[in-house]
Amino acid sequence: MSEPLPTPATTVDPAAAALMARRFRGYLPVAIDVETGGFNVATDALLEIAFVLIDMDSDGTLRRGATHDFHVKPFDGARLDPVSLSVTGIDPWHPLRPALPERDALQRVFREVRHGVRAYNCRRAILVGHNAAFDLAFINAAVVRADVKRNPFHPFSCFDTATLAGAALGQTVLAKAITVAGLEWDAGSAHSARYDAERSADLFCLVCNRLRDSHRCAEERARALGWVSEAGVSAADEPPLDAELL
């Protein structure tokens, strides 16, 4: 049975914010997809970046929130693999392509993500992606290359929807996982950062929503162990972000 795609939330309910802050131990999941000029984070260009905020309703249901996406200019000396470009269909030098320098694109992404982190009373963001290590590695490399400060994302932890889908649905390919989950997949829109980020967000929300009962049982056990207070996550092992990061 097909499950309807969610619609973005315009405001954050205080009850939802409290639940989100507890759900992932103070981390706000944000779905990200990048399109690149190859597979080497040190040499190959970052060409597109899209991110999708994950929202939560007051009953704890996760749903896809707002999407933002940017075209990115190849950095000086960047490698552009023709095979990768043929897969994505990106022409980095098209005169009508509204591309931003890496630094500008990342700063815009991070600014919006920090707003989400603050709205949900979280410590910082955590990347959600399909084969998420790839996306996180490219973002981290671009952050260093462009000397971008105040990165709201955890530097190495992430939620990989390929892993989640493999465990929950028996499929690790994004298109197949979306299809067996009962959601629509448009092959013609694939390999667009925006489309892939939105489908990854949908998949993450679907799997997590199906695991709500499991999470509630685990949270009760964590509370009994003194790891979680009635007010939220104690997280003595993970101090809050510096004030400037928020």
Q: Catalytic site residues?
A: 191
Furthest C-alpha separation in the chain: 60
Angstrom distance (rounded) from CA 231 to CA 223: 11
Please answer whether residues 136 and 39 qualify as being in contact, where contact means their C-beta atoms are separated by less than 8 angstroms: no
Angstrom distance (rounded) from CA 95 to CA 219: 53
Q: What are φ and ψ of residue 191, in 5° steps?
A: 70, 15
Angstrom distance (rounded) from CA 198 to CA 231: 32
Q: Is the four-CA dihedral 20, 193, 35, 160 of positive or negative sign?
A: positive
Describe the strand order of the beta sheet including 99-100 as a list of residue ranges.
99-100, 62-72, 46-56, 27-36, 124-129, 153-160
Q: What is the separation of C-alpha 43 from the centre of its chain, rounded to a whole number of angstroms?
A: 23
> SS3 of 82, please?
helix
Angstrom distance (rounded) from CA 161 to CA 159: 6
**Left, alpha or beta for 55 (phi > 0: left; psi -120 to 50: alpha)?**
beta
Q: Two tokens at 209?
A: 């929503």
Q: For the chain, what's the residue count? A: 246
